[in-house]
Structure 1
């Protein structure tokens, strides 16, 4: 069975400012974000992985590099996977969340993914994000059927991929809590179903 170690990238200045941090915002980690990623690496110091998969965005790559720098085991080469990039948020990229509360899609974005009209803000749909995220995970599961796979990605894509793997219906996913920056969630698969082993752990 494949075991996935899902990590959300460390804190960025955009996160700290409570602005939208989508696929079109290529921010770097704060010092606190770097430190938290290294602590996560120390937690995984004795874990060897069969694959290391990261989003191409700088904040994810920096998080992966920080984790790997703390491990004691020989690790495979890091693979950059475009399909793990965060949801593209179009006109909302980098904007303060508080400034958009009156937008007609604001409520749908946060609470009704099945109703969210991405075209109104030139963004990517939740359905498209989930489709490419699941493709990345299913490809890894096929390639490493008995492996340990570390995946570093982002809040929205991890929210939808992880909860879909756990059987949460699409329209209910936005009601689930997003995992924290520099957090670890471990899911194990028997080939057909996934179960939680670790959830949203930070150090």
Structure 2
């Protein structure tokens, strides 16, 4: 099984340098839509057994734009997985990043995820985010277990959720998963598994050329 993990295209909130979590539902920018469609062209010859998406419109729009370019999938099917939504950023969500730089939890949010005191801002912890992402992945793999050896699956979600989940599959410690930054917008990361437990990274954060 090959899993094509796609981060949505850029949004208006991304451009405004604001926190863009699960409570924000900013639409894609024109450039975000174009980049998602271009990524779809890159993947157009991949026959996807199924497409899964976060319920947030930025991910759903990206999923639809990618699949609209696909010429190999005869009857594309899209399923919304609530657990694929972005991290809940509590009081920060939708507000400018610069507004919170003085707060005690700010440094750990970016540099020490395992020590991020999410409860202080009514947010979701990184450990809870990873558990939720792994639950979503288990649901997806279980639904396609009869095609474990052959299926190609498209999974469209968000920067924090995907980076945390995929780094956990690579056995990267929670406190280190942000060291290289988040997966880029409108990019695909491809992982392969033959047993649903062990994963090999074939491509990481590749955007359309």
TM bin (shorter chain) = over 0.9
Match of 1:164 among 156, 159, 168: 168
Report deviation, 1:174. Answer: 2.2
CA RMSD of aligned residues (A): 1.1
SS at match of 1:200: strand
Q: Distance in 2 between matches of 1:138 and 1:175?
A: 26
Using the size of structure 1 for normalisation, the TM-score is 0.96
Alignment of 1:117-132 (within 5 A): 117-132=117-132
> Match for residue 52 of structure 2?
53
Q: Distance in 2 between matches of 1:78 and 1:3?
A: 17
Alignment of 1:15-164 (within 5 A): 15-73=14-72, 74-144=74-144, 145-146=148-149, 147-164=151-168
> Match for residue 206 of structure 2?
201
Report which stretch shifted further, 144-153 or 12-21: 144-153
Number of residue pairs aligned between Structure 1 and Structure 2: 202
Q: Distance in 2 between matches of 1:177 and 1:41?
A: 24
Q: Is the 8 A contact 1:48 1:75 kept in 2?
A: no
SS at match of 1:197: strand
Pair 1:170–1:71, CA change in 2 (3 A): same
SS at match of 1:175: coil
Q: Distance in 2 between matches of 1:44 and 1:128?
A: 31
SS at match of 2:113: coil
Q: Distance in 2 between matches of 1:142 and 1:19?
A: 36
Gaps of 5+ in 1: none
Report which stretch shifted further, 72-81 or 160-169: 72-81
Report deviation, 1:195. Answer: 1.4
Report deviation, 1:75. Answer: 3.8
Using the size of structure 2 for normalisation, the TM-score is 0.93
Q: Distance in 2 between matches of 1:173 and 1:68?
A: 29
